[in-house]
Amino acid sequence: MQTVLVTGAGGYIGSVLVPKLLQQGFTVKALDRFFFGKDKLETHPQLQFIQEDARRLSEQQLAGVDYVIDLVAVSNDPSGEQFSEATWQINHQSRVMTANLAKKAGVKRYILPSSCSIYGFQDNEVDETSKTNPLTVYAKANEKAEQDILPLANETFVVTILRQATVFGYGPRMRFDLAINGMVYGAWKDNVLPLMRDGKQYRPMVHVQDTTDVMIHLLTADPHNINGEIFNVGGAEQNYQLGPLGEIIAKTVSNELNKPIKIEWYGDVDHRSYRVNFDKIATILKWQPRFSAEKGAKEILTHLVDGTLERSTQTITLNWYKDLEKWHKIIKQVELHGGILNI
Ligand SMILES: NC(=O)c1ccc[n+]([C@@H]2O[C@H](COP(=O)([O-])OP(=O)(O)OC[C@H]3O[C@@H](n4cnc5c(N)ncnc54)[C@H](O)[C@@H]3O)[C@@H](O)[C@H]2O)c1
């Protein structure tokens, strides 16, 4: 039985990936601080929880591990700006450390789930060989992690980088701070779809089931096709401009719920815009996404309507991290003898 260490396993992508790995017969070590709760992963005989900070990963935790999928991160631009030092430590340094420890421990394959956001702003369509242009701490830390980790690839240590498009779709650790997910929520709740100015910016999208399929596929793919390689993860039809995408989502929600949806602009003009070429993953891995934006929107709606999903603070990454930091300070001030009122 093959063992996969997944870091950031309790996050949005991790909480979709881990059950799929278990279902396919892998043993999983789920390493996470579990900032969003341990309950996002169901217990399973082949699942081991490791509540640890990725910055403190030890060689021992990699013993017997065949594959690493290194999802851990402070996972978006606003959180990266607010907590920049931690973002460099976690998204760059800890992942470089994990990759090095993994190589030393005899791990066979290491996957770095990076982001298309490292393309930043581009006038023309970009592919994996194009010059990157990271505009934020989050994107810069991803780029640096890629640069330091890719050269570790050799005949016995297969390294692959996935530059994921912006992810959408339902997951147990839901994120309503992602474009499509947030649009669906606003349209459902207030009949108003929030759209980031000016709507002309290009942003590729990929469903959470699709990107996790790719990660699992890499565990058994022919190493000659993937070793030392970077793949953009997404599909040619999902290179949206946010304005037209907003209209698609508004129409989908309107049709499903039979009510008019208004589009409302917010924020300053978004300077990130990238149109991405996905030919490499389509030709080399023979892979195409299965989920469209409409299908993803309908799926989220189903969960909202049946009450299995809500927009709690936990679903907005930056707000949740800010709350945790705030409460950490307060609790440290008032806690005595291991408690507050009950000691
Ligand atoms: N969601 C997207 O749209 C998207 C797009 C491109 C790339 N990515 C990348 O995919 C990865 C996963 O993203 P996600 O959406 O699941 O994010 P997420 O925030 O939902 O998950 C990150 C997980 O990492 C954990 N974590 C954070 N710091 C930690 C630390 N120091 N030690 C241990 N655990 C820690 C958190 O508790 C959380 O469970 C990230 O690297 C992200 O940059 C995501």
In the chain, what are the domains? 3-169+204-239+273-290 (3.40.50.720)
Distance 71 CA to ligand 1 centre (A): 6
Structure tokens belonging to residue 233 = 């993860």
Atom from ligand 1 closest to the CA of residue 173: 20
Q: Which residues line ligand 1 (CB under 6 A)?
A: 8, 10-14, 32-36, 53-55, 71-73, 75, 90, 113, 115, 164, 166-167, 173, 175, 178, 317
Count of C-beta atoms within a 10 Å radius of residue 342: 6
Pocket test for ligand 1, best of 13, 56, 162, 319 (most atoms within 8 A of CB): 13
- For 68, residues 6+ apart whose C-beta sits below 8 A from its C-beta are 4, 5, 6, 7, 62, 98, 99, 102, 107, 109, 110, 111
Query: Going by CA atoms, what residue is nearest to atom 11 of ligand 1?
Result: 71
47 in Cβ contact with 100 (< 8 Å): no
Distance 256 CA to ligand 1 centre (A): 31
216/34 Cα distance (integer angstroms): 22
Q: How far is the CA of 92 from the centre of ligand 1 (A)?
A: 12
Residue 181, Cα to own-chain centre: how many angstroms? 13
SS3 255: helix
pLDDT tens series, the chain, 343 aa: 899 999 999 999 999 999 999 999 999 999 999 999 999 999 999 999 999 999 999 999 999 999 999 999 999 999 999 999 999 999 999 999 999 999 999 999 999 999 999 999 999 999 999 999 999 999 999 999 999 999 999 999 999 999 999 999 999 999 999 999 999 999 999 999 999 998 999 999 999 999 999 999 999 999 999 999 999 999 999 999 999 999 999 999 999 999 999 999 998 888 889 999 999 999 999 999 999 999 999 999 999 999 999 999 999 999 999 999 999 999 999 999 999 999 9
pLDDT at 271: 87
| Rounded distance from Cα 12 to ligand 1 centre (Å) | 7
> Whose CA is closest to atom 32 on ligand 1?
53
Beta strand ranges found along 71-117 (DSSP E): 109-115
Q: Specify the ligand 1 atom closest to the Cα of 206.
A: 3
Provide CB contacts within 8 A for 16, sequence distance 6+: 171, 172, 208, 209, 212
CA 318, 321, 322, 323 dihedral sign is positive
Q: Which residues contact 155 (CB under 8 A, 6 or more apart)?
A: none
Give residue 193's pLDDT.
Answer: 96
Q: Please give the distance, rounded to the nearest whole angstrom, from the Cα atom of residue 172 to the centre of ligand 1.
A: 13
CA gap 158, 110 in Å, rounded: 6
Pairing of strands 202-207, 239-241: antiparallel
**Which residues have C-beta within 8 Å of that of residue 175, sequence separation ≥ 6?**
12, 75, 167, 181, 315, 316, 317
How many angstroms is it from 73 CA to the middle of ligand 1? 4
Q: Which of 5, 6, 7, 12 to mutate to test the pocket of ligand 1 (most atoms within 8 A of CB)?
A: 12
Length of the chain: 343
Yes or no: say if 36 and 173 are a contact pair by the CB < 8 Å rule: yes
Residue nearest to atom 43 of ligand 1 (CA): 75
How remote is the CA of residue 343 from the centroid of ligand 1, in Å?
35
33-49 burial by CB neighbour count: b if 16+ within 10 A, else e? bbebeeebbeeeeebeb
Output phi, psi for 26, to 5 deg: -80, 150
In 3D space, the residue among 332, 184, 153, 186 whose CA is nearest the CA of residue 253 turns out to be 184
Cα 146 to averaged position of ligand 1 atoms, centre (Å): 16
**Nearest to residue 261, comparing CAs of 248, 277, 250?**
250
**What is the 3-class SS of 183-198, one letter each residue?**
HHHHHHHHCEEEEECC
